Amino acid sequence: EAGVAQSPRYKIIEKRQSVAFWCNPISGHATLYWYQQILGQGPKLLIQFQNNGVVDDSQLPKDRFSAERLKGVDSTLKIQPAKLEDSAVYLCASSTMDDPRNEQFFGPGTRLTVL
Amino acid sequence: QKEVEQNSGPLSVPEGAIASLNCTYSDRGSQSFFWYRQYSGKSPELIMFIYSNGDKEDGRFTAQLNKASQYVSLLIRDSQPSDSATYLCAVLPDMRFGAGTRLTVKP
C-alpha cells in the first residue's frame, strides 16, 4: 500500500513570496490533515478535511494560508505571502473513517525555509 | 486555551531500563489519547492509542490513562537504543499535540 505522498520535499523562498505544497493521501482515506511543525515543537493542526469538506480550520491563519481538497483526494496548501515565522515542516496526514483508533498516517513532509 | 504538556527532556535511560514518559492535558472533554514516535528528521508514527481509564499494553509499551487527573503516560520496558526518538502525546477531539519528550537510550 502506497503511503502519503508530499511534494516538494524542500522549499526555500524569500519572505513575502508565495508557496504551495501538494499532498496525495493513502487511497481510500477520506480524512486529510495538514500540520505545521516548527523545530522543537509538536505538530500543530492547520486544517482537517473530510472528503472535500472542511471539518476544522480553527488554527489556520486565514489571512495568508489557504487549503483546498478538490474531488476529495489530493490537497494543496498555499501560503501567500510567506513570513519568516512560517519556516517549518508541513506535514500531511490521512486516516480512514473506519478505524476506531483514528490512526493517522503521515507523509514525509515539506521543509520550508523562509529567508 | 487547551494545552497538552510534556516534559521536553531529554530523558536518558540505560539499555534494558524502563523509560517513563508523561503527558498532561487541560481539556476535560478530551476523548482519546495517542502516543506517536518521531525519529529525527522523520514523520510521526502511531505506537499507542488509549481511550479508557487504566492500562493498555502492547508488547514493550504500556499506556496509562487517568482522566480524573488528566494524565496519560507511556512506559517502555526493556528500552533499546532503537527507541531513541521524540515521543509525542496527542489528544482528541482536536488532535492537539504536545511538544514531545526526547528519549535517549544508552547502550
Q: pLDDT per residue over A8-29, tens digit each?
A: 999 999 999 999 999 999 999 9
From the list A48, A91, A101, which residue is nearest B49 (CB)? A101
Higher pLDDT, B1 or A13: A13
Q: How far is A22 from chain B (nearest CA, A)?
A: 16
Q: Are B78 and A29 in contact (CB under 8 A)?
A: no
Confidence of residue A99 (pLDDT cuts 50, 70, 90): confident
Touching A: B residues 34-53, CB under 8 Å: 42-46, 49
Q: Which three cell numbers stand for residue B75?
A: 512506559
Contacts of residue B14, Cβ cutoff 8 Å, sequence gap at least 6: B79, B105, B106
Q: How far is B27 from chain A (nearest CA, A)?
A: 16
Instruction: Report the phi/psi class of residue A85: left, alpha or beta, with left for phi > 0 and alpha for psi in -120 to 50.
Output: alpha
For B73-93, the pLDDT digits (tens) are 999 999 999 999 999 999 988
Task: Return the pLDDT at B95.
Answer: 85
From the list A33, A44, A102, which residue is nearest B92 (CB)? A102
For A62-84, the pLDDT digits (tens) are 999 999 998 889 999 999 999 99
Span B58-80, average pLDDT: 96
Identity of residue A104:
Q
From the list B92, B94, B97, which residue is nearest A42 (CB)? B97
Q: Are B40 and B103 in contact (CB under 8 A)?
A: no
Secondary structure of A72-110 in the HEC alphabet? HCCEEEEECCCCHHHCEEEEEEEECCCCCCCCCEECCCE
> Mean pLDDT of all residues in chain A?
94
Task: Return the pLDDT at A23.
Answer: 97
End-to-end CA distance of chain B: 40
Percent of chain A with pLDDT over 90: 87
Task: Return the pLDDT at A79.
Answer: 98
Identity of residue B8:
S
Q: Which three cell numbers stand for residue B69?
A: 487527573
Judging contacts by C-beta atoms under 8 Å, the chain B residues touching residue A48 are 95
Rounded CA gap, B44 and A15, in Å?
28
Confidence of residue A47 (pLDDT cuts 50, 70, 90): very high
Confidence of residue A102 (pLDDT cuts 50, 70, 90): confident
Residue A37 confidence (pLDDT) above 70: yes
Residue A101 confidence (pLDDT) above 90: no
> Mean pLDDT of all residues in chain B?
94
Residue A2 confidence (pLDDT) above 90: no
